[in-house]
Chain A
Amino acid sequence: MRWVVFVPFFVVMVAATVFGYMLSNNEQEGSAPSTRIGQPLPAFALEDLVDPELQRVNEDMLGEPFLLNVWGSWCPSCRIEHPVLNGLAADGVRIIGLNYRDTRDGGIEWLEERGDPYVFNVFDPIGEFGFDLGVVGAPETYFVDAEGIVRHRHVGILNERHWENTLRDVWESL
């Protein structure tokens, strides 16, 4: 029965191992759990950012895989991310923008100044669609397949390192 003395020790060791493993798994930078993964994008009907006459709905996005990039001209991190998006678009990645809690003028000016990597932009000034999507802040990027099912969510700036390490594979698997 002497071994009983070591039981607490083993329990603690096992717990530390499990938690340590979970923590290190969690630290995969940028990837965040989302309730929308494996689910279709929430339904929306919003104006186009550039053309207020144009109504954008889910069907406009579908047909081919795309990145849904959440941004706003008020968002300092988006400034850093924007050149990366320009690069990806030049490489043929289909990016659709969700202009989040922004003003129309601010958004349009941003695109004129910094280049426009987006196929089109959905204008969501009060963050309605963003809310249904579970957006916490900009920038965020959702990887969506041709049927409109969300496959991956990247929170924060998407940089070249992220793309080369994991996100390119995610994109190519869509």
Chain B
Amino acid sequence: MRYWAILLALGLLSTQAPAQTIGEGTGLLIQEDQSLVEPLREFSSAELEERFYRLNWQLRCMQCDNQAIGDSNAPVSAQMRDRVARLLEQGYSDREVVDYMIERYGEGVTYRPRLGGHTIWIWIVGFALTAFLIAVIVGIRNRHGGADDMTTATLSAEEQARLQALRDQNRGETS
């Protein structure tokens, strides 16, 4: 227990120390270089602004892979944001903006892949597997049903006679 406490304390110390220096560092940087702060965007309408921010979260930063461009400081993301804003002002629809980005950066640029091409397989395989599993389960149940029928199956006259004979024999032995 004590061993873990020491490890934890060390871990906290080591994560805190650099965080402090980074904090100081960026403070200085921002003072020196105003260009690190992105200016507020002006849009010709509130509707465009809303669509801009929605698209910001729908497009992926191609440099950082797991961030949306609205969440990323990478130069490529800044450039993509600029381009999205410009295209929207030019009257592009959301779909057209996304297609414009796909043309340049590939299908991976959108968090909502279009249906078609190889993405159709995601759906086909999902539904096909589900259908297959249902078929297997139904098959198993039917088999079990069949087995039940077997136990209640009627015996032929010959079998009845043989069964009776065995029972009589058994009774004779035990009594």
- Which residues of A are at the interface with B, using a C-beta cutoff of 8 A? 1, 4, 7, 11, 33-35, 101, 127, 131-137
Chain B residues near A131: list those with CB within 8 A. Answer: 79, 83, 104
Name the contact of A1 in the complex, choosing from B83, B104, B106, B140 (C-beta under 8 A).
B140
16 residue pairs A–B, Cβ–Cβ below 8 Å: A1-B139, A1-B140, A1-B143, A4-B139, A11-B129, A33-B106, A35-B102, A35-B103, A101-B75, A131-B79, A131-B104, A133-B104, A134-B106, A136-B63, A136-B76, A136-B105
Q: Is the interface of A mostly helix, strand, loop or mixed?
A: loop
> A137 and B136: CB pair below 8 A?
no
Answer whether residue B88 sits at the interface, using C-beta atoms and an 8 A cutoff: no
Known: A4-B140, A127-B79, A137-B76. A34 touches B106 (CB 8 A): yes
Within 8 A of A (CB), among B60-94: 62-63, 74-76, 79, 83
Chain A residues near B62: list those with CB within 8 A. Answer: 134, 136
Chain B residues near A132: list those with CB within 8 A. Answer: 104
Nearest-neighbour CB distance to chain B for A113, whole angstroms, equals: 24
Specify the chain B residue showing the minimal Cβ separation from A74. Answer: B75
B92-117 vs A: 1/0 string, CB under 8 Å?
Answer: 00000000001111100000000000
Chain B interface extent, by class = 10 to 19
B124-140 vs A: 1/0 string, CB under 8 Å?
Answer: 00000100000010011
> B104 and A137: CB pair below 8 A?
no
Known: A33-B106, A35-B103, A35-B104. A4 touches B136 (CB 8 A): yes
Name the contact of A137 in the complex, choosing from B63, B83, B103 (C-beta under 8 A).
B63
User: Known contacts A35-B104, A35-B105, A127-B79; can you find 10 more A-B pairs with CB under 8 A?
Assistant: A1-B143, A33-B106, A127-B75, A131-B83, A132-B104, A133-B104, A136-B76, A136-B105, A137-B75, A137-B76
Chain B residues near A7: list those with CB within 8 A. Answer: 136
Chain B residues near A133: list those with CB within 8 A. Answer: 104
Most chain A CB within 10 A, of B63, B74, B76, B140, is at B76
- Give the distance in Å from the alpha carbon of A35 to the alpha carbon of B63 in the complex: 16
- Give the distance in Å from the alpha carbon of A134 to the alpha carbon of B63 in the complex: 11
> A134 and B105: CB pair below 8 A?
yes
Nearest-neighbour CB distance to chain B for A59, whole angstroms, equals: 22
Nearest-neighbour CB distance to chain B for A90, whole angstroms, equals: 32
Nearest-neighbour CB distance to chain A for B65, whole angstroms, equals: 10
Within 8 A of A (CB), among B11-43: none
Most chain B CB within 10 A, of A4, A33, A127, A136, is at A136
